[in-house]
């Protein structure tokens, strides 16, 4: 059932791009993984359904592509859709991190004249992306304003359904941490020692260690560093 949904969504991604005069697609279920998105027979969508501007650029076969691509770097700094057109990169709002990743030269070298990109952030820290692009310079900003929300939702449905079909991503139920466990992890993430945390929140050092150890067990990891990392991915520790 999920496989049929994946194929149907892949075709919708392609049709939508054709309708918007952005007929070229690049897709990734996880930009941190070199594995391409494939159909039920194991064939990359990039070789069967989706086309790219430069047929010589087989990005899904290049394991280092994600480390070089300015477009992929942009998806790491912007969780919302963004566009490239007329040499400019933009989104729904001013975004300094997105602008810092802008490299118009790389877009030009890749023959990308216009594009809309929908990053997909999923539980567990996975980042996917769907790109709709053209080698022709079109007025992409009005298209973005009119269709970005739909493209974002479509990309999310496609990537999330694909990952479910491939059993990619977290399988266990949500983890519930107590207020004390979160406090201890937050202060540990800030670089405080167990002794300093005990003083700050007025508990004993053994109790601090108990809370950190217990949170690590709940999160299914070993050690303080991994507990901090996992709690951050799950949104228990924000950037303050």
The domain in which residue 152 lies consists of: 2-165
Q: What pLDDT is stored for residue 175 in this prediction?
A: 82
Question: 240 lies in a domain?
Answer: no
Same domain, yes or no: 11 and 69: yes
Question: 212 lies in a domain?
Answer: yes
Question: 239 lies in a domain?
Answer: no
Let me know: does 32 contact 126? Beta carbons within 8 Å. Answer: yes
Question: 171 lies in a domain?
Answer: no
Tens of pLDDT, residue by residue, the chain (240 residues): 788 999 999 999 999 999 999 999 999 999 988 889 999 899 999 999 999 998 888 888 887 777 688 888 899 999 999 999 998 999 999 999 898 888 888 888 888 999 999 999 988 788 999 999 999 999 999 999 999 999 999 999 999 999 999 877 666 667 889 999 999 999 999 999 999 999 999 999 999 999 999 999 998 889 999 999 888 888 888 765
Identify the CATH number of the domain in which residue 46 sits.
3.30.450
Same domain, yes or no: 81 and 183: no
Q: How many domains does the chain have?
A: 2
Q: What is the pTM of this model?
A: 0.83
The stretches of 38-167 forming alpha helices (DSSP H) are 45-48, 65-68, 70-77, 96-100, 104-109, 140-165
Same domain, yes or no: 40 and 114: yes
Same domain, yes or no: 51 and 109: yes
Q: Which of 112, 130, 165 is the last residue of a domain?
A: 165
Q: What pLDDT is stored for residue 171 in this prediction?
A: 65
CA distances from 232 to 104, 124, 185, 219 (A): 33, 10, 9, 11
For residue 175, give every residue at least 6 positions away whose Cβ sits within 8 Å of its Cβ, in sequence order, or none.
Answer: 218, 219, 220, 234
3-state secondary structure of 83: strand
Question: 82 lies in a domain?
Answer: yes
Question: 174 lies in a domain?
Answer: no
Same domain, yes or no: 62 and 31: yes
Question: 37 lies in a domain?
Answer: yes
Cα–Cα nearest to 123, from 230, 2, 218? 230
Identify the CATH number of the domain in which residue 224 sits.
1.10.10.10
């Amino acid at each position: 059932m999920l496989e049929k949904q994946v194929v149907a969504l892949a075709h919708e991604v392609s049709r939508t791009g054709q309708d918007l005069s952005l007929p070229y697609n690049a897709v990734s279920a996880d930009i941190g993984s070199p594995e391409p998105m494939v159909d039920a027979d194991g064939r990359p969508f990039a070789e069967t359904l989706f086309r790219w501007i430069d047929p010589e650029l087989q990005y899904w076969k290049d394991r280092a592509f994600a480390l070089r691509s300015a477009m992929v770097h942009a998806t790491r700094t912007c969780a919302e859709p963004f566009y490239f057109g007329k040499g400019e990169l933009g989104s729904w709002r001013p975004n300094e991190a997105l602008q810092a990743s802008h490299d118009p030269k790389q877009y030009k070298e890749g023959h990308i004249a216009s594009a809309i990109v929908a990053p997909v952030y999923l539980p567990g820290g996975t980042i996917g992306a769907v790109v709709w692009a053209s080698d022709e310079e079109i007025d992409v900003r009005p298209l973005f304003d009119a269709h970005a929300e739909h493209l974002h939702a479509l990309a999310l449905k496609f990537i999330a359904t694909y990952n479910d079909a491939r059993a990619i991503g977290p399988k266990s139920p949500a983890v519930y941490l107590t207020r004390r466990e979160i406090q201890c992890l937050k202060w540990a993430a800030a670089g405080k020692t167990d002794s300093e945390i005990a003083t700050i929140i007025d508990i004993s050092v053994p109790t601090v260690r108990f809370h950190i150890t217990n949170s690590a067990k709940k999160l299914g990891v070993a050690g303080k560093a991994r507990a901090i990392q996992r709690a951050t991915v799950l949104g228990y520790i924000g950037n303050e």
